[in-house]
Structure 1
Amino acid sequence: MAAREVPAPPPAGTKVIGRGAGRAAAGLIRMIWPYCLIILLWQCWLVLDDVPALIAPSPLQTLAGTVTGFAQYLPDLLTTLMVIGTGLGLGMLLGITVASLSWFSPMLSGVLTPLTILLNTLPSIALIPIVASIFGYTLYTIIVIAALISYFPAFVLTRSGLDSIPPGAADLLHVLGAGKRRHYLHVALPAAVPNIITALRISAMLSVVGALTAEWLLGTRGLGYRLAKAQQIMDTDQAWQVSLIGVVLSLVIFGIASGLERKVSMKFR
């Protein structure tokens, strides 16, 4: 009786590659299924309510128009990115600086903290005309708005992080004769880094909203201005396409900031 042939085992590493591909596919599905659900609900709404294209175009129509007409939106997208980046950077720098000053001086803390809270209570819509009356109706006003909106999370979280030093560290530095400046540089500021990165993630999204709102109200360039212009001339397709670009921009910025936060949190854990 002839011996039955035994199939050769799969090459080494095949199972590992298969498992890695499966995990990657599962991760991709988890990431995109909410957006697919939104697109499906969008299309169902149009079909079930018989919404005319003049009011709301279909998802495929909006996506196709965005892709084919992306070149005309690129200058406005770059302007908005510049505003967001500059405003976010200035807001984070201002928030960290003011939080550090209030940490060094209780007297400054008693002055700066109430002013910061008062500034945060003002809605951005009400804040824009005030800032515009000071800086004029220019691109600088939009940058200032994005910076002011980014400032509050940076201040609050940095101040909280500066106070969350490891137990006993302050006593040890005091015994060693270290001054408050060394205390700040070697203990307080490193302890505040995870909070600062969290503030960056929160402020990034707020700066996007602030920049688009300010551009929509008083801008002459940018995605917000393009959206306002499309609404004025009742160009529904362009309005939805600009809105789609704004949503994608927000998701990308949020994803980058969240990834940076995870990496920093792992290092400081």
Structure 2
Amino acid sequence: MASTLSGKTALVTGSSRGIGRATALGLAREGALVAVHYGRDQQAAQQTVDLIKKDGGRAFAVGAQLGAPGAIDQLFHQLEAGLREHTGKTVLNVLVNNAAATTPTGGAPEEMSAEQMDEIFAVNAKAPFLLVQRALGLIPDGGRIINISSAVTRRAVPSQVVYAMSKGALDQLTLHFARHLAPRQITVNSVLPGITDNGGAVFQIPEAREQMARLSAFKRLGEPEEVAHVVVFLATDRARWITGASLDATGGSLLG
């Protein structure tokens, strides 16, 4: 097993499937102990943990429904207990804010309710801020914070305006915390995925796949592992000179 992250620890929110799962697997392959977070699907999170262990890595699951009252306390109680059990310490080297609430596809902006908007911002913007704020007590100098943003912050998709607004707020978190934490050599970056096949129902429809694939310069859908490779790179010492950046991982979908 590779060892660029040997002795390091990581928390990946929303890592029961898709990009989050691929990121957790990638970090573990590099030697990190990974806390696999889930919101509702404990079984899927345990599957991620089992895949990591089968691959020779180390992981444990933590559950909390981000955006709900008390979720941050609940998550960090489990996280600190798991870190202490596996390492004897409560040190977190890498935080990946991946969990997200999405907007329904195909809906017009005027159909979005205030309650739906509140939920999306609670998960996509408020929770990452609170997670960073709380994690700073555990993250040592030289740590890594990586936020999974979205290509829709750079490309107009009217049906996704609220989701894009929330991810735009996440990019601002990246920018300002990168400056704030630079004295501690903690890097903070965003990764912007394009359309990535996460196994959802829409990706089982051939016509939809073909239409989505046209957006990429490579004329295909992205794979979770391709985005995860970018995240893992940012988590390593090789990326120590990158901070406050938004890395395009869209397969050229923003080229026009």
| Higher RCO (C-alpha under 8 Å, 6+ residues apart) | 1
TM normalised by structure 1 equals: 0.25
Q: Which has the higher helix share?
A: 1
TM normalised by structure 2 equals: 0.25
